[in-house]
């Protein structure tokens, strides 16, 4: 099922609406994780290695609400098991020692 224009993947459509302190998506300091659930709910995780800031935004919030991620969790946001496991995997990837 194709995504509607309103819910297009963020890299293609909605990054201009996302307020993230990110200048360049191809920066070596930026880790970006994208996830779509089996129901089409879309999420984007970013981690800026230079600042140590991790964030999460999603299509359900029109990509405009950005949540701070701490220790692989987000305060004030209820994620289902599939979403929470993906977020934890993203956190594990960026917090692993080199």
Annotate 6-27 with DSSP letters as a single string.
GG--TTTTTGGG---S-S-TT-
User: If pLDDT is split at 50, 70 and 90, which confidence band does 9 have?
Assistant: very low
Close Cβ partners of 67 (under 8 Å, ≥ 6 residues apart): 55, 56, 57, 74, 75, 76, 77
pLDDT at 64: 83
The two tokens of residue 66 are: 């950005």
Do residues 31 and 94 make contact, with C-beta atoms less than 8 angstroms apart? yes
pTM beyond 0.85: the answer is no
């Amino acid at each position: 099922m194709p995504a509607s224009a309103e819910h297009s993947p963020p890299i293609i459509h909605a990054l201009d609406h996302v307020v993230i302190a990110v200048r360049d998506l191809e920066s070596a300091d930026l880790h970006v994780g994208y996830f779509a659930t089996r129901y089409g709910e879309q999420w984007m995780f970013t981690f800026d290695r230079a600042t140590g800031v991790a964030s999460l935004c999603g299509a359900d919030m029109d990509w405009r609400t950005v949540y701070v991620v701490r220790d692989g969790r987000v305060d004030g946001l209820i994620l289902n098991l599939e979403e929470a496991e993906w977020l934890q995997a993203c956190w594990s990837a960026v917090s692993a020692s080199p």
